[in-house]
Amino acid sequence: MTTKTNRFFASQAWVQGAWAKDVLLEVDASGHWSRIVIDAAPQTVRDAERLAGPVLPGVVNAHSHAFQRAIAGLTEQGASSGQDNFWSWRQRMYAVAQRITPEQLEAIATMLYTELLAGGYTQVCEFHYLHNASAHAPQTSALDMSMALVRAAQRSGIGLTLLPTLYMRSGFAAAGLRPDQQRFASTPDSIARLVQDVQTATRDMAHVNLGVALHSLRAVTPQALTQLVAFADAQGLPIHIHIAEQPQEVQDCIAHTGQRPIEWLLAHAALHPRWNLVHATHATQAELDGVRASGASIVICPTTEANLGDGVFDYTGYCAQGGSWSIGSDSHVSRTWNEELRLLEYGQRLTRGQRNVAAQSGASTSSAGNMLQALLQSGAASTALPLSGMQVGQRADCVVLDAASPALCGVPAAHVLDAHVFSSPGSAPLGVCVGGQWQAHSAHGAVARDYAATLGQIFA
């Protein structure tokens, strides 16, 4: 839904890293916060729309493969070989990737993006490599597939940073792609053209912007990486790359380059704050120190990394000194940011035998508070948009929590965020605002029917 009101009042809102009370929020005509007043006097908020629960900033989902929502829950039975790991999961994922038409991708992504809104995300970075025609969609163009995602974002109301992804070869020593990867085939020139074509097609659309992605070091040549990065830098676009997700990837990189993946990237690419390194699960302290010094961010995807058996990111080794990081839901086995943060913290507790690990890596004594602030501070890095929380000049994104939900009912105000992250299950928000406009966030009705019908077609 849309509202004509540009003034809101929250009895409790997360502002600049802490809960504030009696907060007046004003939105300008461009959909950005223009005024924020803490402890606002009653006469100041008399004509403001009163929000019905605690208010949190919207969060960026910095890593998404929308089509993989279609297989959530469908890869949880062991492989016949008995060796079930990331690589066997990938083969099952490829089988679905070969089938999806633009219409099916739109239905899947619309369902997903609506769910992400309900999970507190207001912007999603779509790491998109389903570019080409397949036997099930023989007339499909790369623009068709990209615009299916754009339409899904527009239908749901979520912001979209589309990341057309360069994918050239199946491995470090390969000359090209395998037959089951041909749908991903691209070149630096084709990605640059696609970015420009989507920019033209979306010029008048709200909350859609572009970046670029490199699938991984194993999937692109050094020359192609340099070429696409130069294009992105000339336009000021965010740059994303999968890196050091699996031990085999690290071993292959050492075998073919003499360096570990992040070590190679630090030596051969001038990393800067628009770089986003996805996973970095298997990194040394020296590599993490190098990423932190460059100003680049790491995108951690805890539920996917757990689901695929990737490993546990070295949160303390990277974050104790202020490394920039964000969260992604990747394969979408989970679609809420509080669950991603909960698993991130619990993974650290399990491996270290300690509690409240994230409380040691920030200004707050709250693990949830420090993690949320890290997400907000990295919002601009992953999207190149002003998405750093409830501050003047930032986009007016927020989520109204349901204080009467079982997870929050009776919780003292100072612990609402802690309970939102660590007391599960949560509940649907009362409202989600993107750019000053309230959005529907229920994945029911026509959206769910279209999604169910689409899965019936894919898995028939």
DSSP code string of 162-226? EEEEE---SSTT-SS--GGGGGG---HHHHHHHHHHHHHHTTT-TTEEE-EEE--GGGS-HHHHH
Could you give the CA distance from residue 272 to residue 377 in angstroms, rounded to a whole number?
Answer: 15
Check residue 139 and report its DSSP letter.
Answer: T
Instruction: Specify the length of the chain in residues.
Output: 460
Per-residue CA distances from 186 to 86, 87, 141, 169, 221 (Å): 24, 22, 12, 10, 12
Strand pairing category for 297-300 and 324-327: parallel
Do the beta carbons of residue 236 and residue 275 sit within 8 Å? no
Q: 309: helix, coil or strand?
A: coil
Note if 310 is an active site residue.
Answer: no
Note if 397 is an active site residue.
Answer: no
Residues 6+ apart with CB under 8 A from 323: 288, 291, 292, 298
Question: Looking at 128, 215, 279, 282, which residue is catalytic?
Answer: 279
Strand pairing category for 7-15 and 18-27: antiparallel
Describe the crossing of helices 337-352 and 367-377 by its angle, rounded to 10 degrees.
Answer: 120
Question: Looking at 314, 330, 397, 402, which residue is catalytic?
Answer: 330
Residues marked as catalytic: 279, 330
